[in-house]
């Protein structure tokens, strides 16, 4: 780290400073805006006293540089037992402690300038809140990576953390496929269509075309912005298997590293947009809880939806799904034919099914969306029957998981089946909740998946049952004799 500054790392108190280039990287974010301001002001006041305005700009630059430096001076961090403490602020002191055990995710963000300077920003999220709770901007790249591993391991022992730094790539997105998928999205098609129309119109009616272009400019620019963000945000996407979750790295100008913890997955959704279907592409999204439901009394549970695979083949998607949920493939049955009257557009997609541990539902009108929900995560089961469904003898059953949007919908099933589903799903959810050996650890918000091995059989029918790869298997043991029987008997 730094050498010419007074005691950045005194061994007795362990306080550490941020990287000495932080003020530069921080203020550097303002550079484009300042350049723009400068250009505007020089063009604007060429005739008048342009001198005064440039002085003003110099002043702003200086002030922000001083601010950046002071901010760097007063910011420090250290480990205090099992917490990470970050202190900052000159006038209004801000000291926060982040308990290592409750850290949910640590993201590394590298804006363009930071990347040039060789520094990265560390963002730390803690259970019980959806936003960034701790921020270290900026650290040297190697230090950021190391610290991230330490934080994720819930430990500030580098040796333990280093062992966690292995993983197999699970999925990646090539630039050509990303480009193709973005071009085949609704936004870019509208954008290209409009531009093409304007170009054609320009041949015949240049004045109208110019007027229309002027009118549409704002919309076109914002659409182009959306397309650009998708491209740059998901550029060089790679998902790597880590011990605590899937690690994702992506980004063109700003590299983002994030982790999707296996244990916090509430639901997985595979979306197949209409235009991608000829190529067999799909998108995989996950809903991750920011807080353990039972523990955070009084606080809303923040659930974020993340793209686990921005675009990929069915095979890629299936591979990821297998790792996340153990490839649940319950048999799906379509909705009864009369559901066509109620849902003419989505009928051809509607199907749903469940096995002992997962529910899977397909919905969607234009884009097919398949949702997998581990029953162990279900928060409530609901049966809803609308006025259109009643005369048709249909009802919808929802399996709700934490969050606002995530749920599996058994849409438009026969009433008798819906009634049966409500009972069956509540019972299966209960069994799944009780039978997962990670539950006892889960209640304090710090779980990991227990290692594979023999554990007491949760169903009580046998002495032991083999737990492997985050789930119960059908292998059971009684007094040293092995046999096999599924945990949840299939009816």
Partner 1 sequence: MTMSEDQAWLRPSPGLWRMRRAEVVTSTAVLAAFFGLVFLAAAGATAGLVSVVVLLALGAGFSWFVRRRYRAWRYQERHEDLLVARGVMVQRLSVVPYGRMQFVEVTAGPIERLFHLSTVKLHTAAAASDARIPGLELGEAARLRDRLTELGESMAAGM
Give contact residues for partner 1 (rule: CB under 8 A): 289, 291, 293-294, 296-298, 301, 378-387, 390, 398, 400-404, 406-407, 422-423, 426-427, 429-430, 433-434, 439-440, 442-443
DSSP string, 191-232: HHHHHHHHHHHHHH-HHHHHHHHHHHHHHHHHHHHHHHHHHH
The least distance separating partner 1 from the CB of residue 295, rounded to whole angstroms, comes to 9
Distance (Å, whole) CA 34 – CA 54: 10
CB distance 399 to 384 below 8 Å? no
- The CA-based angle 114-116-122, given to 5 degrees, is 25
Of the pair 71, 354, the CB lying nearest partner 1 is at 354
Of the pair 58, 384, the CB lying nearest partner 1 is at 384
What count of other Cβ atoms lies within 10 Å of the Cβ of residue 471?
Answer: 19
What are the tokens at 419?
A: 């009634």
Of the pair 251, 445, the CB lying nearest partner 1 is at 445
The least distance separating partner 1 from the CB of residue 363, rounded to whole angstroms, comes to 15
Q: Phi and psi (nearest 5°) for 349?
A: -95, -30
Helices 186-204 and 175-183, packing angle to 10 deg: 60
Of the pair 266, 346, the CB lying nearest partner 1 is at 266
The least distance separating partner 1 from the CB of residue 13, rounded to whole angstroms, comes to 40
Of the pair 404, 468, the CB lying nearest partner 1 is at 404
The least distance separating partner 1 from the CB of residue 379, rounded to whole angstroms, comes to 4
Distance (Å, whole) CA 185 – CA 175: 16
In 75-185, which ranges are continuous DSSP H helix? 112-117, 141-152, 158-163, 175-183
The least distance separating partner 1 from the CB of residue 140, rounded to whole angstroms, comes to 38
The least distance separating partner 1 from the CB of residue 138, rounded to whole angstroms, comes to 35
Of the pair 294, 461, the CB lying nearest partner 1 is at 294
In 280-313, which ranges are continuous DSSP H helix? none
- Report how far apart, in Å, the C-alpha atoms of 8 and of each of 4, 16, 101, 331, 439 are: 9, 6, 26, 61, 43
What are the tokens at 311?
A: 């675009």
Cβ neighbourhood burial of 459 (10 Å; 0-12, 13-18, 19+):
middle
Of the pair 236, 441, the CB lying nearest partner 1 is at 441
Of the pair 346, 429, the CB lying nearest partner 1 is at 429
Of the pair 16, 435, the CB lying nearest partner 1 is at 435
The least distance separating partner 1 from the CB of residue 443, rounded to whole angstroms, comes to 6
Determine the 3-state secondary structure of 268 from DSSP.
Answer: strand
The least distance separating partner 1 from the CB of residue 308, rounded to whole angstroms, comes to 21
Q: How far is CA 415 from the centre of its chain?
A: 36
The least distance separating partner 1 from the CB of residue 304, rounded to whole angstroms, comes to 13
Distance (Å, whole) CA 450 – CA 419: 36
Of the pair 21, 381, the CB lying nearest partner 1 is at 381
Distance (Å, whole) CA 266 – CA 422: 19
What count of other Cβ atoms lies within 10 Å of the Cβ of residue 281?
Answer: 23
Spatial neighbors of 314 by CB under 8 A, at least 6 apart, are 280, 282
Of the pair 188, 378, the CB lying nearest partner 1 is at 378
The least distance separating partner 1 from the CB of residue 376, rounded to whole angstroms, comes to 11
**Cα torsion angle, 311, 312, 313, 317, sign:** negative
Q: Phi and psi (nearest 5°) for 418?
A: -60, -45
Spatial neighbors of 344 by CB under 8 A, at least 6 apart, are none
The least distance separating partner 1 from the CB of residue 402, rounded to whole angstroms, comes to 3
């Amino acid at each position: 780290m730094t050498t010419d500054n007074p005691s950045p790392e005194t061994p007795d108190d362990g306080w550490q400073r941020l990287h000495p280039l932080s003020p530069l990287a921080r203020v550097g974010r303002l550079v484009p805006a300042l350049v723009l301001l400068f250009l505007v002001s020089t063009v604007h006041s060429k005739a008048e006293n342009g001198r005064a305005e440039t002085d003003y700009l110099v002043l702003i630059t200086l002030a922000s540089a001083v601010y950046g430096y002071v901010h760097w001076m007063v910011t420090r961090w250290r480990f205090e037992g099992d917490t990470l403490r970050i202190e900052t602020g000159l006038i209004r002191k801000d000291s926060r402690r982040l308990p290592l055990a409750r850290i949910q995710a640590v993201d590394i963000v590298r804006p363009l300038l930071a990347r040039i300077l060789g520094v990265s920003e560390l963002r730390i999220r803690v259970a019980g809140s959806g936003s960034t709770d701790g921020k270290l901007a900026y650290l040297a790249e190697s230090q950021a990576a190391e610290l991230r591993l330490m934080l994720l391991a819930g430990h500030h022992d580098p040796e333990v953390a280093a062992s966690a730094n292995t993983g197999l790539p699970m999925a990646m997105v090539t630039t050509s496929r990303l480009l193709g998928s973005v071009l085949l999205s609704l936004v870019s098609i509208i954008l290209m269509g409009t531009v093409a129309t304007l170009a054609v119109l320009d041949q015949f009616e240049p004045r109208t075309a110019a007027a229309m272009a002027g009118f549409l400019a704002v919309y076109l620019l914002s659409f182009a912005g959306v397309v650009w963000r998708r491209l740059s945000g998901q550029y060089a996407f790679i998902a790597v298997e880590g011990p605590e979750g899937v690690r994702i790295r992506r980004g063109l100008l700003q590299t983002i590293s994030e982790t999707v913890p296996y244990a916090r997955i509430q639901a997985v959704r595979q979306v197949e947009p209409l235009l991608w279907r000829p190529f067999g592409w799909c998108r995989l999204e996950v809903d991750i809880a920011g807080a353990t439901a039972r523990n955070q009394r009084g606080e809303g549970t923040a659930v974020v939806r993340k793209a686990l695979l921005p675009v990929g083949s069915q095979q890629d998607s299936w591979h990821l799904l297998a790792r996340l949920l153990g490839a649940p493939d319950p048999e799906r049955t379509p909705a009864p034919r009369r559901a066509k009257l109620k849902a003419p557009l989505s009928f051809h997609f509607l199907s749903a099914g469940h096995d002992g541990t997962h529910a899977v539902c397909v919905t969607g009108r234009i884009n097919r969306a398949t949702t997998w929900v581990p029953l162990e995560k279900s928060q409530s089961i609901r049966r809803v029957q609308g006025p259109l469904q009643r005369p048709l003898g249909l009802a919808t059953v929802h399996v709700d998981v934490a969050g606002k949007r995530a749920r599996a919908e058994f849409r438009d099933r026969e009433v008798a089946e819906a009634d049966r589903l409500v009972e069956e799903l509540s019972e299966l959810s209960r069994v799944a909740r009780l039978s997962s050996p990670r539950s006892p650890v889960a209640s304090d918000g710090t779980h990991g998946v227990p290692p594979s091995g023999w554990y007491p059989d949760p169903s009580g029918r046998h002495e032991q049952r083999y737990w492997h790869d985050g789930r119960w298997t059908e292998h059971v043991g009684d007094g040293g004799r092995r046999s096999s029987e599924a945990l949840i008997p299939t009816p």
